[in-house]
Structure formats: C-alpha cells, structure tokens
Amino acid sequence: MRSETWRHFDFWLFGVVVLLSIFGVVMIRSAIAGNESLAGLVQRQIIFVGLGLIVMIAVSVIDYHYWATLTRPMYVFTVLLLIAIFIYAKARFGAARWLETGLVDIQPSELGKIVIILVLADYFNRNADEPHNLRWVARSFLLTAGLVVWILLQPNLSTSILILVIWFALLWISGLPLKHLAIMAAVVALISVVAFPLLETYQKDRIVNFLFPNPNARHGDTYNVDQALVTIGSGGWFGMGYGHGTQVQLRFLKVRHTDFIFSAMAEEFGFIGTVIVLGLIVFVILRCLRAARLANDRFGALIAYGVSVLIFFQAAVNVGVNLNLIPVTGLTLPFISYGGSSLLSLVLGVGLVESIVLRQKPLEF
C-alpha cells in the first residue's frame, strides 16, 4: 500500500474502539473484584485487546476485495467448525458453543457473524443486476440458514437472530421490493409460532417470564433482571464511583462481567457515564455508516453497512435486556463485555471498515 493512502485511515474510529476496549478491561476488573475464581479474566482480556489491535491494523492493510475470493472457503470452514462443536463440544450452562484448544476457547459463532457479512455482501454484489424476486431472496436466505441452523443446535438463539437481522438488513439495503415485506412478515410470524415449542426449556422460560412476569417472584428465573434494575437504579445520575457499587461488589448482580456489565457500569458511573459510553458506541456505528457512504464499490459499502448493523443490534439488545425491555439473551455489550471471541470478531469487522476507508473513491472536482 502506498504511504499516502494512510491519510484516509479513520483514526477517530480506531481511537474510539481502542478507548472502549480499554474501558471494558477496567469495568471487568471492577466487576470481578474479590472473586478469585475469575481473577485471571482481566489479564486474558488485556491479551485479547492487544491481539485485537494487531488484527484490526492487519486487516485494514489487506485490500478488502481480497476477501471476496475467499468467501466460499471461509463459509465452508465456519460451517465445519460449527459442526465440530455440535459433535464434540461439551456443554456449558446448558449450551455447547466453544471449541477447547488448550490455550484459548474459541466460539465459532462469533466468527460466523463476520463471515456471513462477507458472504452476503459478495452475493448481493455479484447478483446486483438480477431480478430482485423471491428466488433472489431465497438464495440469500439459504446461504444464511446454512450457518444459522448449526448455531441454533448449540443452542444459541440470540446469535441466530442477530445473523438473521444482518441478513435482512443487507437484503433491504440491496433493494428488497416492498411487495415481499408482507410475505416475509407472515413467514416470520408463522415460524415464530411453530418454533416456540421446539425451543429449549430455559429459552421458553425466559420468554414466558418476560411476557407474564410473576410480581411475587423474588428469586429464580427473574432474579438476574430484577437485580440488574436495582443496580441501574442505585447508580443515580453520577454513580457510586469506580469499585464502589454495592450491588456489584457484594455480588448481588450475577454475570456482571458479561451479559449485565451495562448494569455494573450504570451503578458505578451513573446515567451520565452510561450515556457517554453509549455515545461512543453510537459514534463507532456512525463512522461505519460513513465508510459505507465513502466506499469505492457496492461490496465495500455492504460490508461497512453490515458491520454497523452488527454493532448496533448487539448493543441495543444488551442494553434492552439490562433495562428489562426484551427477554434475556446472551449478547454482550460491544467492546465492553468480557469475551475474547466476541471482541476479536468486532475488531475484525472494524478492520474491514478501515480497509474500505483506506481505499475510498477519490474526490472528483
């Protein structure tokens, strides 16, 4: 790459992602303070942040067009990893989602988020001139379903829904005819009704408890959400201070370093602090959308758009769960929650966006 092209590098995007990742380490440290069994997670997350920076820069250097030639082998490789999990992986907390390598545990479904963005961006780019009929829609859905079905079998409903949302977003931006919306809405409604009895017991319980909460229940299935709301409320406007949140430090709030780290952040930094952090995440999303606008071609625009949808939906769902606006899911808060696979997949997506910005179309006068 010529040195002058680095003048297009989005240092604002890079800097904010680094800032959010470092803040995530800080929050994880507070969330697990005093818990000896989790003490090593901070060091591991620091390592993942370092690896993430290397991945982000390395991917930005590579011309994003190169990935279009590798979408098929990447897709097949990811499906094989998911099949291997279905066959060999041991269940944790009722689900088998990780491949244990001895050094780190890999969650292939996180890689699947980025792979499906690349695969669908390539598909919609190559078929841009084809009639946008039901056959065009069905083929893109089959590509998506080839990944989703194996993620559902783990079971991992939240990630499956996220990937389907990415599919629909890319389908919509690629020119989905309005006349197909009613058909798709009817199909989604039918599938939701038919699939509900097939869900795992804990998944059905989460939905039922959300729709029909028991006001007298103080423990059990609603405990985590109840404690999350108490934790958020105790933070007030400015928070109780870093490391001084009673709900967090006394461990009333569970899974506080992953699913409910937003609540921990709200207790320690208050409403003002959470608004600032969420504002930074929104800034990242807007910079990804900016990259889509500046992209040199449709393929690059679709990638950047897909990454922005990924970050937005994941953040919105995590915050919604913490505020008890939607049923509990396992989606983490982007760049903040603990999780090496999740962090690496996100910075990989940001690296692709940086690659697109570096190769943006020249200004015309």
C-alpha–C-alpha distance, residues 300 and 296, integer Å:
7
pLDDT at 220: 55
Element (H, E) at 105: strand 105-106
pLDDT at 93: 47
Residues 9, 60 contacting (CB under 8 angstroms): yes
- Which residues have C-beta within 8 Å of that of residue 22, sequence separation ≥ 6? 49
CB crowding 201-214: b at 16 or more within 10 Å, else e: eebebbeebbeeee
Indicate the pTM of the whole model: 0.90
Neighbouring-strand partners of residue 92: 95
C-alpha–C-alpha distance, residues 333 and 261, integer Å:
7
Structure tokens at 90: 């041991």
H helices within the chain, ranges in order? 11-31, 41-61, 71-88, 108-126, 134-152, 157-173, 181-195, 201-211, 223-235, 246-249, 261-294, 298-322, 340-358
pLDDT at 8: 81
How distant is the alpha carbon of residue 98 from its chain centre?
16
pLDDT at 215: 64
pLDDT at 365: 35
C-alpha–C-alpha distance, residues 143 and 130, integer Å:
17
C-alpha–C-alpha distance, residues 337 and 206, integer Å:
21
Residue linked to tokens 């780290």: 261
Full pLDDT tens readout for the chain, 365 residues = 455 567 788 999 999 999 999 999 999 998 888 777 777 888 999 999 999 999 999 999 999 999 999 999 999 999 998 888 877 765 554 555 566 655 556 788 889 999 999 999 999 999 988 888 889 999 999 999 999 988 888 778 889 999 999 999 999 999 888 777 777 777 777 777 777 676 767 677 777 777 777 666 555 557 788 888 889 988 889 989 888 888 888 788 888 888 899 999 999 999 999 999 999 999 999 999 999 999 989 999 999 999 999 999 999 999 999 998 888 887 899 999 998 889 999 999 999 999 999 988 654 43
Q: Is 44 exposed, middle or buried (0-12, 13-18, 19+ CB in 10 A)?
A: middle
